[in-house]
Amino acid sequence: MIGSSTPPIRGIIESSLTHWDGRIVAVVFVGGCNLRCGGCPSPHLIGDGCDQGEIPLDSVLDAIYRRRRWIDGVVIKGGEPLLKPEVLELLELLRDFGLEIRIDTNGTCPEALSEVIRRDLVDFVSMEVKAPLTGQYHRVAGTTVDLGAIFDSIGILLSGEVDYEFRTVVYDGQLTSDDVMAIARTIKGARRYVLRAVKDKGPSRTVLRGLARSAGRHVAGCHVDGRPQDRETPFALFADGDERMNA
Amino acid sequence: MKPVPRIRKRDGELVEFDESRIADAIYKAALSVGGEDRFIAEELAGVVSLFLEKSFQGVIPTIEDVQDMVEKVLIETGHAGTAKSYILYREERTRIRDAEARTRPPVQGRLFDPGPVLVLDAAEEQVGPLSGEVLSRKLVAEARLSPRTADEVARAVEDRALQLGLESVTGTLLARLIDVELISRGLLKAVDNRGGVLVPRQSVERSLYPKTHARSGTPAERIAERVLRQYALEEQLPRSCAEAHLDGRIRVIGLGRPSALFAATLSADAIRTWGIPWLKGRFRPEAVADPRRFTALLGRAVRGIAPHVSDGLSLCRLNMLLAPLLAGRSKTDLREEAWHLLSEMAGIPGLEIDLGLAPPPIFASRKARGPDGNSLEETYARFTGTSLQLASAFLEVRGTAAGLGPRSELPRLTLTLGPDALDQDEVLAVVSRAIGEAMAREPVLIVFDREDLPILGTSRTRVRMEDAARLTDTANLSVAVGGRVVINLPRAAYRAGEGHIGDFMREIEAQAELALAALAARSRVIMRSAAAPDGALSPITEGRGDIPPLLNMGGAAWSLGVAGLNEAIGYLTGEELHESDEAAKLGVKTLGLVRLVSSGFARAENLAIGLDAEDDPAICRVLADLDRAEYPRLTDRIPAAYTPGVALRSDAPVDLAVRLETEGRLGIPLRTATVRCFLGEDGHPAPETIIALMWKTWHNTRVKQMLLGRREP
Ligand code: SF4
């Protein structure tokens, strides 16, 4: 087996159209996370014990190789992929395939982040900013967080050496619109900020769009993640009474 | 050889043929001229019965026939004396019979008595006396009986009607009386020749008062379809093909409308240039130069043609052909025109509007047809901007469907992409809009037109126009697909048995041959209907003077459909198409064989036959139903409906890349196959991502059509 010193790979989506806009990608899930967020979408990936089933690296590389004509890149997700130094070796292997790489991080590992950027092992970083950088962050993350590290990661991305976006998942009862504005001010000047709500647990899309408009005062582009019709307003040709006639 | 079983007496009664009575008569005649050998009489009677059997195959001889034969045998075997005595005896008997007949009072209700039986012929809306003469003439013409037998049958039918004490008979009852008479005389061939279609009263009532709302068409159409389907199965198809259709080995499409084409593609420019064929005149240039007036005329033409097409009708590259009429108009104007066109075409079943994104290369550099129908100085490439904006307008207007009534009534839009289309930003803007519609509302079909010569047709059957000479004119951008017969692939697997690949291939070949024979029979019917001076199709298939036909039947294509490849291979190998490379390879091999058989047949019959994926869910369900009925032990293994065409099972656990590659490979031997891509299962991909997918599909595969949507409709 190759790559014995790579991080534990817990899952793979061989080809996805929804993990990196404009690209068809493979998604690799790395086990292990240092946070304990209440609404974690993948709690099975938090622990890094090998008992949870690890996918051998060569079968991951094989699946990617077989789809080489289809996929543009690989998204590395966690858990927290930058937690383990071995991730560098995985990224180097993927780079050898000529693939673009995106890393989804929680921003707690600024050294590893600057290392992968310095060694040109990443093309796009998506960093989740979970809350305003106050005591609230520890509550949302379910553990004590080194807020200095989060600040550092934001700074690294804002420096613009690599393409990036910031993300926030808005849960009802956890973040208010003021909180979202506070985050937007923290990442002031960012190229792209994406807001997302989890179905039935967050605000409606209309509310989210309103939030995005307000946050847009601080960042260059604030988007609502989701259905394509949110990306463009359908053109209405006639008075809306006509549309109702068809209902 | 069997002796003649029965003969008909003078009064019409049928009696058992008795050779010993012939021997008796010969012996009596022989005695009167001094002969006394009974054995020779029996020998001669045997010869008579042998000759009768030979000369009256399938026809019941009368007493006169038998007596003629006795005379002939006696003379030809050298018993002239006996023959003479026999003839004298026979004449004597006739004289006595005639005398008796003259003195006997007439029998009540006999033939030609006053007060004949009336025939109420509802089909012809006529009433008249039952005439033996007329009936006999009809029997000669319809049942192909000899005049003499026809006379006898006619007489027997009249007698039967009288014996039954009928004052009048309906046309239906009379037809049955004739059939009974023919059958009782063993004249089955004549019954067959008479043919005819009987519609049970219950079926008529079911058509008039349907129990469910799902039934389509008017009662008249439903009854007509039923009658015509039966007629087609009994009279137009070879018996073996009709049987194969009924037991589910093959499926002949459109039997209820035997003279309708399966599909057709029309060029709006043909209407613009040559007028509406049945109106027999061209339009004045100013009528067709105005888009709104031309839209109305086009609608009239399409409505007239639609009844002659059973599956689908399309208007090809409509945005490209209308662009010269609309050049320089604002986007709002274009949307208005699109609205009017969709409104005009609403409610025409099976209509598709084909939007060409980037004109076919053969037209890009050609002079465009101007508003009045004449050539302009500018080429089609010069109108690309308007053409794309118009395509976008169609997508927008159909998407909102504002003021147009239910979306299901509107023509479907398909997008045909030419080479390099996906590398042009203006085209991508239209494609993005189509993707938006597909993900928000209903699936959109994208056609990959990879060659220089354009591909034309409907979503279910497409043909590449190979005739470059015809392509000098956009008015010729039309094609007719005459008929389709589908091969039920899983049936071949069930007939062969699990693991029997060699037998499977033989069954496939046999089914393909049946389907092709059926297709050839369909082609004869269609071509006859197209060529008949007042035939149903002739207005659109015949030219007039210097005006060419709207649809050139000489270049018509024919479609051999395949369905359920996945289930066929799954049953045969235990692995479905997505489960192993071997399974997929066997799929390719199977289709290759069908293609081989069909191209040999196509050459021999001079028919342009192509292989298409059958993806109509109704047909895929019917085939599975027929297979369950035929193989009850496999009920659990046969799905409710077969997987369309050559596709992988819709819920096969494979990612899109594998689906596109595998289905692309399986589709290579086919003329038309659609890969269904439903992308909304895990989130909502961005339009740019879907464009990336389309770009890779174009470059990495030979996929012909993609149906893009959020989820399976
Ligand atoms: S950082 Fe992400 S993976 Fe880790 S606990 Fe939070 S949500 Fe889950």
What digits encode the pLDDT tens for the residues A27-49? 999 999 999 998 888 888 887 65
Say which residue the tokens 């490379």 belong to.
B581
DSSP state of B61: P
* pLDDT band at residue A26 under the 50/70/90 scheme: very high
- C-alpha distances in angstroms, B427 versus B315, B349, B430? 20, 29, 5
Task: Tell me if B59 sits within 8 A of B77, measured CB to CB.
Answer: no
**Which of A13, A69, A237 minimises the CB distance to B335?**
A237
Contact B688 A21 (CB under 8 A): yes
Report the pLDDT value the prediction gives residue B122, as an integer from 0 to 100.
79
On whether any CB of chain B is under 8 Å from the CB of A111, the answer is: no
Alpha-carbon distances, residue B467 vs B471, B478, B566 (angstroms): 7, 12, 35
Query: How many CA atoms does the CB half-sphere of A30 hold within 13 Å?
Result: 23
Residue B245 lies in a domain: no
| Residue A191 covered by a domain | no
DSSP of A170-218: E-TTT--HHHHHHHHHHTTT-S-EEEEE-TTTS--HHHHHHHHHHHTTT
Q: What ipTM was reported for this prediction?
A: 0.85
Of B52, B74, B102, which residue sits at a domain end?
B102
Q: Does A236 reach chain B within 8 Å, measured CB to CB?
A: yes
Domain-located, residue A24: yes
Residues of B in contact with A231 (CB under 8 A): 686-687
Helix (H, G, I), strand (E, B), or coil: what is residue A143? coil
CA A215 / ligand 1 centre spacing (Å): 24
A62 and B CB contact within 8 Å: no
Interface contact B689, partner A, CB < 8 A: yes
- B678 φ, ψ to 5°? -105, 115
Instruction: For B490-548, give the DSSP string.
Output: HHHHHHH-TT-HHHHHHHHHHHHHHHHHHHHHHHHHHHHHHHSTT-SSHHHH--BTTBP
- pLDDT tens profile A96-142: 989 999 999 999 999 999 999 999 999 999 999 999 999 999 999 99
Distance (angstroms) between ligand 1 centre and the Cα of A103 equals 14
In Å, what is the CA distance from A70 to each residue of A21, A37, A80, B56, B680?
15, 34, 27, 76, 19
Residue in chain A nearest B700 by alpha carbon: A69
- Provide the Cα torsion B430, B433, B434, B435; round to 10°: 120
Q: Which atom of ligand 1 is nearest to the CA of A141?
A: 6
The conformation of residue B125, written as its DSSP 8-state character, comes to T
Q: With a cut of 70, list the residues of chain B below it in pLDDT.
A: 1-4, 12, 101-115, 213-216
Residue A43 Cα: closest atom of ligand 1 = 8
Contacts of B696 in chain A (CB under 8 A): 24, 69-70
Flag whether residue A23 sits within 8 Å of chain B, measured between CB atoms: yes
Q: Whose CA is nearest to atom 6 of ligand 1?
A: A37
The pLDDT value given to residue B671: 95
B415-428 b/e (C-beta count within 10 Å ≥ 16 → b): bbbbeebbebeebb
Which stretch of DSSP H or E encloses residue B430?
A: helix B425-440
Residue A175 placed within a domain: no
| A234 part of contact set with chain B, CB < 8 Å | yes
End-to-end CA distance of chain B: 65
Q: Give the DSSP letter of residue B106.
A: P
Q: What is the pLDDT of residue B369?
A: 85
- Under 8 Å between Cβ of B168 and B126: no
Report the separation in Å between the CA atom of A79 and the middle of ligand 1, taken as the mean of its atom positions: 6
Whether A29 is in a domain gets the answer yes
- Residue B9, beta-bridge partner list: none
Residue A247 near chain B (CB below 8 Å):
no
B205 found inside a domain: no
pLDDT digits (tens, 9 = 90+) for A194-228: 998 887 888 888 888 999 999 989 998 888 875 43
DSSP string, B321-376: HHHHHHTT--HHHHHHHHHHHHHHHTT-TTEEEEEEES--HHHHTSEEE-TTSSEE
Strand partners, B563: B488
The closest alpha carbon to B503, from B512, B493, B490, B513, belongs to B493
pLDDT at B104: 54
Rg of chain A's alpha carbons, rounded to an integer? 19
User: CATH code at B496?
Assistant: 3.20.70.20
Whether A206 is covered by a domain: the verdict is: no
Residues B124, B87 within the same domain: no
- Structure confidence at residue B95 (pLDDT): 79
Q: Would an 8 Å CB–CB cutoff place A244 in contact with chain B?
A: no
Asked if the Cβ–Cβ distance from B403 to A242 is below 8 Å, we say: yes
Q: Number of A:B CB contacts under 8 A?
A: 97
In a domain, B590, yes or no: yes
Closest residue in A to B688 (Cα–Cα): A22
Q: Give the number of domains in chain B.
A: 4
By Cβ distance, the residue of A22, A67, A234 closest to B688 is: A22
Task: Say yes or no: B18 and B53 in one domain.
Answer: yes
Query: Could you give the number of structural domains in chain A?
Result: 1
The residues, any chain, with a CB within 8 Å of residue B663's CB and separated by 6 or more, are B646, B647, B648, B673, B675, B703
Report yes or no: A246 and B404 within 8 Å, Cβ to Cβ: yes
Same domain (yes/no): B519, B605: yes
Which of A44, A46, A146 gets mutated to test ligand 1 (max ligand atoms within 8 A of its CB)?
Answer: A46
DSSP state, residue B140: I
Chain A: residue nearest B398 by CA? A237
Cβ(B685)–Cβ(A17) below 8 Å:
yes
Q: CA of B571 to nearest chain A CA: how many angstroms apart?
A: 28
User: How many angstroms separate the Cα of A231 from the Cα of each of A192, A197, B436?
Assistant: 14, 16, 9
From the number of C-beta atoms within 10 Å of its C-beta (0-12, 13-18, 19+), residue B307 rates as middle
The reply to whether A182 falls in a domain is: no
Q: What is d(CA B669, CA B592) in angstroms, rounded to the nearest whole number?
A: 6
Distance of CA A199 to the CA centre of its chain: 17
- Residues with Cβ within 8 Å of A158's Cβ and at least 6 positions away in sequence, in order, are A187, A189, A190
Nearest to B381 by CA among B400, B412, B356: B356
Do both B572 and B703 map to the same domain? yes
Name the nearest CA neighbour of A212 among A197, A229, A224, A199.
A224
**How much distance in Å is there from the Cα of B476 to the middle of ligand 1?**
63
Query: Phi/psi at B330 (nearest 5 deg)?
Result: -75, 165
Asked if A199 is an interface residue toward chain B (Cβ–Cβ < 8 A), one would say no
Closest protein CA for atom 8 of ligand 1? A40
- Ligand 1, CB cutoff 6 Å, lining residues: A 33, 35-37, 40, 42, 45-46, 78-80, 106
**Residue pair B452/B458 in contact by the 8 Å Cβ criterion:** no
Tokens representing B309 are: 């097409």
Q: How many CB atoms lie within 10 A of CB B282?
A: 15
Contacts of B283 (CB under 8 A, 6+ apart): B272, B275, B297
What confidence score (pLDDT) does residue B111 get? 38
DSSP 3-state assignment of B8? strand
- Residues from chain A contacting residue B682 (CB–CB below 8 Å): 16, 18
> B516 and B379, same structural domain?
no
Q: Note whether residue B256 is domain-resident.
A: no
- Could you tell me which of B95, B76, B73 has the C-alpha nearest to residue B25? B73
Same domain? B276 vs B417: yes
For a pocket test of ligand 1, which of A42, A169, A170, A174 has the largest count of ligand atoms closer than 8 A to its C-beta? A42
**Is the minimum CB–CB distance between A15 and chain B shorter than 8 Å?**
yes
Say if B22 falls within a structural domain: yes
Angle of CA points A191, A194, A195, to nearest 5°: 145
Q: Are residues B76 and B135 in the same domain?
A: no
Give A23's contacts in chain B (Cβ within 8 Å): 689, 692
- Cα separation of the two ends of chain A: 59
Q: Are A173 and A204 in contact (CB under 8 A)?
A: no
pLDDT tens-digit readout, A49-99: 555 578 999 999 999 999 999 999 999 998 899 999 999 999 999 999 899
Name which of B335, B404, B682 is nearest A18 (Cβ-Cβ).
B682
DSSP B664-705: HHHTTT-SB-EEEEE--TTS---HHHHHHHHHHHHHH----E
Do B404 and B291 lie in one domain? The reply is yes
Which of A14, A21, A24, A199 is most worth mutating to test chain B (most B CB atoms within 10 A of its CB)? Answer: A24
Contacts A16 to B, Cβ<8 Å: 682
Residues with Cβ within 8 Å of residue B26, at least 6 apart in sequence: B41, B44, B45, B70, B74, B82, B86
- Does B227 fall in a domain? no
Touching A: B residues 644-673, CB under 8 Å: 655-658, 660
The pTM of this model reads: 0.80
Q: State how beta strands A163-170 and A124-128 pair.
A: parallel
Judgement on whether residues B699 and B553 belong to the same structural domain of the protein: yes
Tokens of B253: 């499409």
Residue ID of nearest Cα to ligand 1 atom 7 = A40
Q: Which of A10, A27, A33 to mutate to test the pocket of ligand 1 (most atoms within 8 A of CB)?
A: A33
Q: Is the minimum CB–CB distance between B490 and chain A shorter than 8 Å?
A: no
Q: B689 and A18 in contact by Cβ < 8 A?
A: yes
Q: Residue for token digits 């799954």?
A: B570
CATH number at residue A75: 3.20.20.70
Which 3 state secondary structure label does DSSP give A28? strand
Report the half-sphere exposure of A157 (CA within 13 A, side-chain side). 35
Tell me whether residue B358 is in a domain.
yes
Q: Are residues B358 and B434 in the same domain?
A: yes
Residue B628 lies in a domain: yes
Q: What pLDDT shows up at residue A231?
A: 42
Residues in B closer than 8 angstroms to A99, CB to CB, are none
For residue B106, what are its two tokens? 């007439």
**Domain span holding position A237:** 9-161+230-245
The percent of residues above 90 in pLDDT, for chain A, comes to 65
CB A109 within 8 A of CB A149: yes
Q: Residue B450 sits in which domain range?
A: 268-456
Q: What is the pLDDT of residue A228?
A: 39
Residues B429 and B576 in one domain: no
Beta carbons of B685 and A237 less than 8 Å apart? no
Smallest CA–CA separation between B342 and chain A, in Å?
A: 14
Which residue from B536, B634, B260, B656 is spatially nearest to A67, judged by alpha carbons? B656
